[in-house]
Structure 1
Amino acid sequence: MYKNKSSNGSNNICGKKIKELRLQLPEKTSQRKFADMLQIHGLDLDKNAIQRIESGARFVTDIELKIIAQVLHVSCDTLLDVDISYLQ
């Protein structure tokens, strides 16, 4: 039976990486400020949604993942922590 959870029981596999990268941004970037940055790029998430994503309590759609990656200036693969070297 298929389950929509990661191996650690989280609803996403990108939340921890998103938090890590958000905290590494040049200016101190709170979850609220990050939500504002996403809204400027057309993704309507609030601080609570960011908190739930980072904690793994909320699913992340592909559209959301793409915009989050753009705002953090990384690839979607970086957020998913995907090692694509085995494909080459």
Structure 2
Amino acid sequence: MSKPKSRNGKKNLIGPQLKALRARDDISQRDLAVQLQLLGLNVEKDVITRIETNKRYVNDFEIQIIAKYFKVSYQYLIDGEECL
């Protein structure tokens, strides 16, 4: 059974938000990977690239750690908007 994709063929919903958050905080993909590793997420720079370009699926626990690092809600990462 194949993994689901969005209508436009993207493999995740958080790519644009992740890229925007990195720009906001002026952090490179490599440095972000290091910081996420310190929080227990085993990722490398190329994983960040693949998430941002929607070429990699993202698990719920990965979303949780990314949201924790950037101090944003899960909803922001998924929908691009904060909870009311």
TM-score (norm 1): 0.85
Larger Rg over CA atoms: 1
Q: How many residues align?
A: 83
In structure 2, give the amino acid aligned to 1:58. Answer: R
Superposition RMSD in Å: 2.3
Q: Would you identify which runs of 4 or more consecutive aligned residues in structure 1 move more than 3 Å? A: 82-85
1:13-68 per-residue CA deviation (whole Å, 9 max, x = no partner) reads: 1111111111101xx31000000010010001000000000000000000000000
Unaligned runs of 5+ in 2: none
Per the TM alignment, residue 7 of structure 1 is displaced from its structure 2 partner at its CA by 2.4
1:34 correspondence with 2:28: no
TM-score (norm 2): 0.88
Where does residue 75 of structure 2 map in the other structure? 77
Find the residue that maps to 1:24 and give its secondary structure: helix
Unaligned runs of 5+ in 1: none
**Structure 1 32/64 Cα, relative in aligned 2: closer, same or farther at 3 Å?**
same
